Amino acid sequence: MREEDVMLKLKEAFGDKVSDFKTAPRRVFFYTPPEYYKEVVRFLVEKLGFVHLQAITSIDLGKDLEVIPHLGRGLTVSVRTRVPKDRPVVDSIVDVIPSASFHEREVHDMLGVEFKGNLNLKRILLPEDWPEGVYPLRRKSRVAPPEPIRGGGR
Amino acid sequence: MSVNSSYERFFDVPIGPQHPALKEPLFLKLVVEGEHVVSADVDVSYTHRGVERALQERNYIQNIYLVERICGICNVAHTLCYCQNVEGLYEVEVPSRALYIRVLVEELARIHSHLLWLGVAAHEIGFDTLFMYVWRDREAIMDLIEEITGNRVTSAINTIGGVRRDIKPETADRCLKIMDYIEERTKYYKKVCETDPTIAARCAGVGILKPNDAVRLCAVGPTLRASNVKYDVRADDPYAAHDEVPFNVIVYDTNDAFGRILVRIDEIFESINMVRYCIKHMPSGPVRVRLRLNPPAGEHVSRVEAPRGELIHYVRSNGSEKPERYKVRTPTFENLPALCEMLTSKGDYVVNIADVPVVFASIDPCLSCTSRVAVLDYEKETVWIGRLEELKLKRLRR
Amino acid sequence: MAMVTEVLKHLFKKRATLMYPFRDRDKIHVPEGLRGKISFSRELCIGCGLCARFCPSGAAELIEDDKGKRPVFHIDQCLFCAQCEEVCPRKAITLTREFEIASFDRSDLIVK
C-alpha cells in the first residue's frame, strides 16, 4: 500500500475528521481530534491492517499535550491528537492493541496524560516512590545542563 | 501484581532489581505456584537516565554523541537512526559511498552483538567453555571496528550528512580475511549448538511464544523471527543501502529459545555476506555532504533494525538549534509484553523458576546485570537470598 | 561434550590473553586512527569558540588570556569523540594515539 492510498482511504472513511496530512517516503502523518482518535486507530488496525504498534510519543506544546501512536510495518502511519493541559484525558487503545498498555504507562509517567480505559496505569519508568503530579517531560521544569566539575589537584 | 492468595498456593518471587541474567537492573515480579511460574510483571525503572530530556537541552551535533551512549552494544544502530532522522528533516540525499560504509559498520556491529549474546546465553545455561571461546573470537571483530572507526565501543562514525571517515584499501583487505576466520568459527559454534545435549535440554521447549501471540503483542527482532513471522526492518522499510545489498530474512518455526539461538547464528552468516558484498561493490565518491546548522521545522520518524529488533526514533524540530522533542523506543521495551506472556504457565506449557534466566536471556535484553534473588518460602517461613547461579545449582541437585 | 576435542587442542596452543601491562606492552597493536589524548597548538588557534560550542561533554572551555580567546581541554571530561578536531577551521586540534592517560592528579589532565 502506498502513502497516497492510505491518505485517500482515511479521507473516504472520515471526511474532515482527519486533517493536516504530510507524507514522506513510507511515512504518513496526520491529525485527528481526541473524540475520533480511538475510532481512527481502530480503522487503521482492523480495516487497513496496520497491526504493529511501534511506539506512542507524547509532546508538551505549551498549552496542549500531543499524543502520537506510530503504527505499521512497511509503512509508518503516525496519528496525532491533541488535548489541553488542564484536562489531559485521551481514550486508551488497549482493547484494540494489547501491547499499547506499556507505552501508555510510559506516557502517563512522563507527561501525565490520563488514558481512559487503561486500568493498569502503574509506574513503569519512574520509581514507585516518585511524587505524584511531577511530570519530568513537561515544559515548566526546565533545567540547564549541570556545570562541568573543574578540579585541579588531588 | 499478586493473585488472591486465599489458598496460600501462590507465592510472589521477586527477581531483581539487582538482576539475574545479563546486563542491567530490572525488577521481575513472578507469582509462583510450587516450581511453576503463573504470571509475571516487569518494572524497568532502574536504569532510567533521563536521556530524552537531556536531548532537548543540547544542540543537534552534541546529541549524536549522547544518543550513541544510550547503549554500548547497539551504539551504531542508535547513531544511524538519529542521523537518518535529522537528514529526513533536512530532506537531503546522502552520498552512496557513505550509505555503503554505514551498512558495513552496522553489520559488523551486528556480528559482534550476536557473538556477545551467544557467549552470554551459554553462560546462563552454565556452558562457560563456549562463552570464553566465543568471546575470544569476538575480539577480532572489535579490533577491526577499532581500525575502521577509531574506537572499539563508541564508534561515532555516523554524522549528520554521511560518515566521518573513509575506508582505506588495506583495511578492506584485512576485513575480508577476518570475515573468513569468523565464518569458519561460527560454523563450528553452530555445530556445537545443534549437537550439544545440554543446550538442547535447557533451551528446547523453553520460552514458547506462538506466532499469533507474537504478532498480537507486537514482538520484534529475533524473538519474533523464531516464531515464524517474517518481519525485518531492513527488508520491509529499507534504509541506508539495504535496498541494494542482498540478504535473506532468517525465520525459524520452533517458537522457543533454541530457535532464537539458531536465528541469531544464521544472521551472523548473513551479515558476513553483506560485509563482503559492501566491500566488493563499494561505490566511489564523497563520504559526506555539508549541511547548514539548524534543520528546518518539521517532524520525522526513523527506523533501524538494531541487533535486538526494531528501533524507532521520532524527532520534532522547531527550527532552532535544539530539538523540541526526541523520542527513542528501544527493542527490548517492545518485547516486554511478549516476555510476560512467555513467563506464564498455561495448560501443558509450564515455566519453572530455573527457566526464567534462560527465557529472559533469549530475548536479548539490552539491560545489565548483577544477580540477587530472594525466594520467600511461606511454609517454612524462611527467606533465602543468594546468587542466581546458586539457584540454578539448587534446582539441578534436586 | 561437543567441545572436548577443541579444548584438548588448545592445551598446546599459545594463550590468547595478553598480560598487559606487566609483560606484553610491546605486543599491543594501536591502529593509526585511534582517537586518543588531545593535542592542541596555540599558534594556529583563532579563538572562534566552535570547539567549545560543539563539545558534547563540556571538556573544551573557552578562556581569555593576553593573546585573546582560546580553549583549555579537560581530558577527564573528554569523550574522545573528535568533534572538536572535525569542526576546527584551522586544524589546531588533533587526537593522538596516546591512550595511557590515567593519573592521580587532575592537573595532569589539562591540555592548554
Q: What is the ipTM of this complex?
A: 0.91
B8 against A19, higher pLDDT: A19
Lowest mean pLDDT among A74-83, B74-83, C60-69: C60-69
Cell 584499501 belongs to residue: B169
Q: Is C60 helix (H, G, I), strand (E, B) or coil?
A: strand
DSSP result, B227-240: TT----HHHHS--T
Q: Is C76 on the interface with A (CB under 8 A)?
A: yes
Q: Calculate mean pLDDT across residues B323-342.
A: 89
Angle A84-A86-A90 from CA coordinates, rounded to 5° = 55
Lowest mean pLDDT among A13-22, B10-19, B150-159, B234-243: B10-19
Of A60, A101, A125, the CB nearest to B44: A125
| Sheet order of strands, C68-74 included | C60-65, C68-74, C110-111
Note the Cα B192 to chain centre separation in Å. Answer: 23
Lowest mean pLDDT among B74-83, B153-162, B216-225, C62-71: C62-71
| pLDDT over threshold 90, residue B189 | yes
Strand pairing class (A114-116; A89-91): parallel
d(CA A102, CA A108): 10
Lowest mean pLDDT among B30-39, B78-87, C11-20: B30-39
Mean pLDDT score of chain A? 86
B132 against B356, higher pLDDT: B132
| pLDDT over threshold 60, residue B367 | no
Number of residues that this document lists for chain A: 154
Q: Is A17 on the interface with B (CB under 8 A)?
A: no
| Interchain proximity B314–A57, CB inside 8 Å | yes
What fold, for B11-47+335-397? Answer: Enolase-like; domain 1 (3.30.390)
Of A22, A73, A124, the CB nearest to B236: A73
How many CB atoms within 10 Å of residue B153? Answer: 16
B50 against B312, higher pLDDT: B312
* C-alpha cell of residue B59: 544542540
| Interchain proximity C2–B195, CB inside 8 Å | yes
Cβ neighbours of A146 in C, within 8 Å: none
Of B59, B129, B156, the CB nearest to C81: B156
| Domain B78-299, classified CATH 1.10.10.10, yes or no | no
Helix (H) or strand (E) holding C71: strand C68-74
| Interchain proximity A148–C106, CB inside 8 Å | no
Chains touching B (at least 3 CB pairs under 8 A) are A, C
Q: Is C58 on the interface with A (CB under 8 A)?
A: yes
| Interchain proximity A59–B52, CB inside 8 Å | no
Q: Which of B87, B114, B22 is nearest to B371 (CA)?
A: B22
Number of residues that this document lists for chain B: 398
> How far lies A29's CA from each of A104, B365, B390, in Å?
20, 31, 52
| pLDDT over threshold 50, residue B240 | yes
| Interchain proximity A148–C61, CB inside 8 Å | yes
* C-alpha cell of residue B19: 538482576
Q: Calculate mean pLDDT across residues B346-360.
A: 83
Cβ neighbours of A150 in C, within 8 Å: 61, 74
- C72: exposed, middle or buried (C-beta count within 10 Å: 0-12, 13-18, 19+)? middle
Mean pLDDT score of chain B? 85
pLDDT, one tens digit per residue, over A89-105 is 999 999 999 889 889 98
Of A59, A128, A136, the CB nearest to B50: A136
Chains touching C (at least 3 CB pairs under 8 A) are A, B
Lowest mean pLDDT among A127-131, B209-213, B319-323: A127-131
Cβ neighbours of B191 in C, within 8 Å: 2
d(CA A20, CA A79): 11
Query: So what's the pLDDT on residue B95?
Result: 95
- Taking the CA of residue B359 and the nearest CA in chain A, the distance in Å comes to 19
What fold, for A3-89? Answer: Beta Polymerase; domain 2 (3.30.460)
DSSP result, B301-360: EEEEEETTEEEEEEEEE-SSSS-SEEEEE-HHHHTHHHHHHHT--BTTB--BGGGHHHHH
Q: Calculate mean pLDDT across residues B45-49.
A: 74
Q: Calculate mean pLDDT across residues B127-133.
A: 91
pLDDT, one tens digit per residue, over B280-321 is 999 999 999 999 889 999 999 999 999 999 999 999 999 899
Residue stretches of chain C with pLDDT short of 50: none
Judge contact between B279 and B255, C-beta under 8 A: no
Residues of chain B with CATH 1.10.645.10: 78-299
C25 against B148, higher pLDDT: B148
> What dotted CATH number matches C30-111?
3.30.70.3270
Query: So what's the pLDDT on residue B395?
Result: 47
| pLDDT over threshold 80, residue B53 | yes
Q: Which of C24, C82, C4 is nearest to B64 (CA)?
A: C82
Q: Calculate mean pLDDT across residues B225-250.
A: 92
Query: So what's the pLDDT on residue A93?
Result: 92
Q: Where are the domains of chain A?
A: 3-89
Query: So what's the pLDDT on residue B18?
Result: 65
* C-alpha cell of residue C65: 588570556
Dihedral angle computed from the Cα positions of residues B53, B56, B59 and B65, in that order, rounded to the nearest 10 degrees: 30
Count each helix (H run) and each strand (E run) in chain B, helices first. 15, 10
| pLDDT over threshold 70, residue B373 | no
Q: Is A40 helix (H, G, I), strand (E, B) or coil?
A: helix
User: Where are any strands of DSSP class E within chain A?
Assistant: 19-24, 27-31, 53-60, 64-71, 76-84, 89-91, 114-116
- Kindly identify which residue of chain C lies nearest to residue B166, measuring between CA atoms: C33
* C-alpha cell of residue B77: 544502530
A147 against B10, higher pLDDT: B10
- Kindly identify which residue of chain B lies nearest to residue A23, measuring between CA atoms: B300
CB-facing half-sphere around the CA of B42: CA atoms within 13 A: 28
Q: Calculate mean pLDDT across residues B69-88.
A: 92
Cβ neighbours of B48 in A, within 8 Å: 125-126
End-to-end CA distance of chain A: 64
Lowest mean pLDDT among B11-15, B55-59, B356-360, C5-9: B11-15
Interfacial C residues in 53-72 facing B (CB < 8 Å): 53-57
Judge contact between B314 and B299, C-beta under 8 A: yes
- Taking the CA of residue A15 and the nearest CA in chain B, the distance in Å comes to 24
pLDDT, one tens digit per residue, over A15-74 is 888 888 898 889 999 999 999 999 999 999 999 889 999 999 999 988 899 999 999 988
| pLDDT over threshold 90, residue B377 | no
Q: Calculate mean pLDDT across residues B246-255.
A: 92
- Taking the CA of residue B6 and the nearest CA in chain A, the distance in Å comes to 23
| Interchain proximity B150–C82, CB inside 8 Å | yes
How many CB atoms within 10 Å of residue B49? Answer: 9
Phi-psi region of B296 (alpha: psi -120 to 50; beta: other; left: phi over 0): beta
Looking at mean pLDDT, say which of A122-136, B6-20, C23-37 comes out highest. C23-37
| Interchain proximity B65–C79, CB inside 8 Å | yes
Of A26, A102, A124, the CB nearest to B237: A26
End-to-end CA distance of chain B: 29
| Interchain proximity A59–B303, CB inside 8 Å | no
| pLDDT over threshold 90, residue B94 | yes
d(CA B269, CA B273): 6
Cβ neighbours of C29 in B, within 8 Å: 143
Amino acid letter, residue B111: I
Of B215, B312, B316, the CB nearest to A51: B215
Of B91, B217, B303, the CB nearest to A99: B217
How many CB atoms within 10 Å of residue B363? Answer: 26
pTM metric for this prediction: 0.90
B293 against B246, higher pLDDT: B246
Of A24, A98, A123, the CB nearest to B88: A24
Amino acid letter, residue B31: V
Judge contact between B252 and B259, C-beta under 8 A: yes
> How far lies A26's CA from each of A5, A32, B330, in Å?
12, 20, 21
Cβ neighbours of B61 in C, within 8 Å: 54, 56, 83, 87
| pLDDT over threshold 60, residue A139 | yes
- Taking the CA of residue B133 and the nearest CA in chain C, the distance in Å comes to 9
Bridge partner list, B158: B163
Q: Where are the domains of chain C?
A: 30-111
| Interchain proximity B43–A53, CB inside 8 Å | no
Which residues, at least 6 apart from C11, have a Cβ–Cβ distance to it below 8 Å? Answer: none
| Interchain proximity B45–A123, CB inside 8 Å | yes
Interfacial A residues in 130-149 facing C (CB < 8 Å): 145, 147-149
| Interchain proximity C6–B188, CB inside 8 Å | yes
DSSP result, B59-110: -HHHHHHHHHTT-STTHHHHHHHHHHHHHHHHT-PPPHHHHHHHHHHHHHHH
Q: Is C36 on the interface with B (CB under 8 A)?
A: no
Q: B226-231 long-range contacts, Cβ below 8 Å, gap at least 24?
A: B226/B251, B226/B252, B226/B254, B226/B255, B226/B256, B226/B259, B226/B260, B226/B262, B226/B263, B227/B253, B227/B255, B227/B259, B228/B252, B228/B253, B228/B255, B231/A52, B231/A73
- Taking the CA of residue A143 and the nearest CA in chain C, the distance in Å comes to 16
Lowest mean pLDDT among B187-196, B230-239, B352-361: B352-361
| Interchain proximity B150–C54, CB inside 8 Å | no
- Kindly identify which residue of chain B lies nearest to residue A61, measuring between CA atoms: B324
